[in-house]
């Protein structure tokens, strides 16, 4: 699985858009990009995933560059409840060992 690189921490003002970057320069053609978040002392929560096209759901938008070497998770109107660690993971569909590789993620602080 391709390695991802994320900033250690970011700040965002409440009500503004939070843009969280992720580099995955060694991503292969059949690897999806997944985003999860973990609010303090809770289990991680799935946010969104994509392969090539940009994706949007009720929680966030995912923008993947044309060369697929990086992506950005966008929280359009961040709230205090969005304060969490955000993990970017790349993985092929299924696979034999079923392992997602969890890095240290980006700690997002949404400030009032």
Partner 1 sequence: DGGITQSPKYLFRKEGQNVTLSCEQNLNHDAMYWYRQDPGQGLRLIYYSQIVNDFQKGDIAEGYSVSREKKESFPLTVTSAQKNPTAFYLCASSISGTFSRGIKNIQYFGAGTRLSVL
Residues that bind partner 1 (CB under 8 A): 32, 34, 36, 41-46, 49-51, 87, 89, 91, 93-94, 97-100, 102-105
* Closer CB to partner 1, 15 or 54, in the complex: 54
Smallest gap from residue 48 Cβ to partner 1 (A)? 10
Smallest gap from residue 15 Cβ to partner 1 (A)? 28
Burial call 80-96: b when 16+ CB within 10 Å, e when fewer:
eebbbbbbbbbbeeeee
């Amino acid at each position: 699985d391709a390695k991802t690189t994320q900033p250690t921490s970011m700040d965002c003002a409440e009500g503004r858009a939070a843009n969280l970057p992720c580099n995955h320069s060694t991503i292969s053609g059949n690897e999806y990009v997944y985003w999860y978040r973990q609010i303090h002392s809770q289990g991680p929560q799935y946010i969104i995933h994509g392969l090539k096209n940009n994706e949007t759901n009720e929680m966030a938008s995912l923008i993947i560059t044309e060369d697929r070497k990086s992506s950005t998770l966008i929280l359009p109107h961040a709230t205090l409840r969005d304060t969490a660690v955000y993990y970017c993971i790349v993985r092929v569909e299924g696979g034999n060992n079923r392992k997602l590789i969890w890095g240290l993620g980006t700690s997002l602080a949404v400030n009032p």
